[in-house]
């Protein structure tokens, strides 16, 4: 029987056009782009620069602002640890770090590491709709604050924080702003430069590109210390031989994602709304996070009156979706916990991530599968 893949926040399939763009760079032209003396190497270097330009254009940045990394996890680590280390090196008195409770672990964990190494850390709570209270955020940014890290779109509940207002607060107070945009780039309009985002992380496999590639986009003049030392690639800020096929794939994927973004947003938004209306009609179903400020292809709900483990067991052969708890430990997702959901509620939560390949039939299947499970388990 059919398995509907509705877990596009975990990862997306690599688009066939992206695979085709990558193909020549594995063993056709396999030269190292840093070997500047012969033609294939110069061609590989040129292909890297074309991809760099595409990534830059997608986020309103100059090509020089783009540093290729292995993904958003590494980009976040480079941004946060790199800014902190650069501050230490130049004797910057500001040390404070601020973030939100709903950030990805790839932001929370490097910040916790910095906290253990002498950087005061403030983790702000969420309101029940998943948004940060701006007055509370403003109050947390002081003359000793070095950096604020806020994601553009949440990977569990799809909530979009008010980046325009947040960026303005940072500018006023001289605080650097890092934004984990792994779930936003290629999905929603985002203009980091005009917003005033200083550092932005993105990931290839969240936008129909390959796994193992991403980028940190750094506004010119932002002090950043390398976190990986070696061959001096990426202006000395991220050493390591560039994975040319992956870099080319990221460039192709980001261009493709921009080309069909609006049509995809509209189509998936309509499917998501249909899914939400059908699930809400089951009764005792809570929406996690506001519907107004949200990725159009995300839905996250808590189903009342059912056991979470049995719910997901009932769904797993028909639907590839995520639950609100880590399967191994049963501990609730920190994002749902920040919304006030209990352990039981988190386990009985379903995250739906629709994507480019999602069909109306798959949404019908999801509605039927959840409805049947709820009737059986209640
Ligand atoms: C997936 C994801 C990451 C991690 O990205 P990788 O490229 O897999 O390292 C970080 N942040 C967010 C918001 C994500 O969704």
- Residues designated catalytic: 327
Q: Look at residue 4 in the predicted model and tell me its pLDDT.
A: 98
φ/ψ (deg, to 5) at 43: -70, -40
Which residue minimizes the CA distance to atom 12 of ligand 1? 182
Q: Return the pLDDT at 327.
A: 58
pLDDT above 80: residue 45: yes
Residue 141: exposure state from Cβ atoms within 10 A (0-12, 13-18, ≥19) = buried
Rg (CA), the chain: 21
Which of 77, 53, 48 has its CA nearest to residue 65? Answer: 53
Burial class (CB in 10 A: 0-12, 13-18, 19+), 118: exposed
Q: Is the CB of 103 under 6 A from ligand 1?
A: no
Where are the alpha helices (H) located in 99-181, listed in sequence order?
105-116, 134-140, 163-173
Does ligand 1 have an atom closer than 6 angstroms to the CB of 312? no
CB of 69 within 6 A of ligand 1: the answer is: no
Task: Supply 86's token pair.
Answer: 């650069």
H helices, E strands: number in the chain: 12, 13
Residues 6 or more apart whose CB falls under 8 angstroms from that of 205 comprise 11, 12, 14, 71, 211, 212, 213
197 touches ligand 1 (CB under 6 Å): no
Percentage of the chain beyond pLDDT 90 is 95
| pLDDT for 264 | 98
**pLDDT, averaged across the chain:** 96
Contact 324, 157 (CB under 8 A): no
Token digits for 52? 């760099």
CA of 88 from ligand 1 middle (Å) equals 27
Q: What is the pLDDT of residue 190?
A: 87
Cα 156 from Cα 188, distance rounded (Å)? 16
Tokens of 318: 């028909």
Q: What is the mean pLDDT of residues 249-258?
A: 98
**pLDDT on residue 285:** 98
- Ligand 1 atom with the shortest distance to the CA of 214: 7
**Distance in Å, CA 306 to ligand 1 centroid:** 30
Q: Is the pLDDT of residue 328 over 80?
A: no
Q: Over the stretch 271-293, which tens digit does the pLDDT of each residue have? A: 999 999 999 999 999 999 999 99
Q: Helix 244-280 crosses helix 39-58 at what angle (to 10 degrees)?
A: 30
**Which residue, 271, 256, 247, is CA-closest to 208?**
256
- Encode pLDDT of 189-238 as tens digits: 988 787 889 999 999 999 999 999 999 999 999 999 999 999 999 999 99
pLDDT of 221 reads: 96
C-alpha to C-alpha distances, 8 to 11, 97, 173, 183, 373, nearest whole angstrom: 5, 30, 36, 10, 22
User: In the prediction, which pLDDT does 298 show?
Assistant: 98
pLDDT at 71 over 70: yes
178: pLDDT strictly greater than 90: yes
Strand ranges for the chain from DSSP E = 4-5, 66-69, 96-100, 121-124, 145-149, 176-180, 199-203, 214-218, 285-287, 298-303, 319-320, 322-323, 349-353
pTM of the model: 0.97
């Amino acid at each position: 029987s059919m398995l509907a893949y509705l877990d596009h926040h975990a990862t997306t399939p690599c688009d066939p056009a992206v695979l085709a763009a990558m193909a020549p760079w594995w063993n056709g032209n396999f030269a190292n782009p840093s070997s500047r003396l012969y033609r294939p190497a110069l061609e590989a270097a040129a292909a890297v620069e074309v991809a760099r330009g595409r990534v830059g254009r997608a986020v309103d940045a100059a090509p020089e602002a783009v540093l290729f990394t292995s993904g958003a996890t590494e980009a976040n680590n480079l941004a946060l640890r790199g800014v902190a280390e650069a501050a230490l090196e130049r004797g910057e008195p500001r040390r404070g770090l601020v973030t939100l409770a709903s950030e990805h672990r790839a932001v929370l964990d490097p910040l916790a590491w910095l906290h253990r190494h002498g950087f005061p850390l403030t983790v702000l709570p969420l309101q029940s709709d998943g948004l940060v209270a701006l007055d509370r955020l403003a109050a947390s940014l002081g003359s000793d604050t070095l950096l604020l890290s806020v994601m553009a779109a949440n990977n569990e509940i799809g909530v979009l924080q008010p980046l325009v207002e947040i960026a303005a607060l940072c500018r006023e107070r001289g605080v650097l702003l890092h934004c984990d945009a792994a779930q936003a780039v290629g999905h929603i309009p985002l203009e980091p430069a005009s917003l005033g985002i200083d550092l932005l992380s993105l990931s290839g496999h969240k936008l129909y590109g390959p796994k193992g590639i991403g980028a940190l986009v750094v506004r010119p003049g932002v002090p950043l210390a390398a976190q990986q030392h070696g061959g001096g690639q990426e202006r000395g800020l991220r050493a390591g031989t560039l994975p040319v096929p992956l870099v080319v794939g990221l460039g192709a994927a980001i261009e493709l994602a921009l080309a069909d973004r609006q049509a995809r947003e509209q189509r998936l938004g309509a499917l998501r709304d249909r899914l939400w209306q059908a699930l809400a009609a089951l009764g005792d179903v809570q929406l996690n996070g506001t519907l107004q400020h949200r990725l159009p292809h995300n839905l996250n709900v808590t189903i009342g009156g059912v056991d979470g483990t049995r719910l997901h067991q009932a769904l797993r052969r028909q639907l590839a979706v995520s639950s609100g708890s880590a399967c191994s430990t049963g501990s609730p997702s920190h994002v749902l916990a920040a919304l006030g959901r209990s352990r039981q509620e988190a386990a009985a939560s379903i995250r739906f991530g629709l994507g480019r390949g999602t069909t109306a039939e798959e949404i019908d299947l999801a509605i039927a599968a959840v409805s049947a499970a709820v009737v059986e388990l209640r």
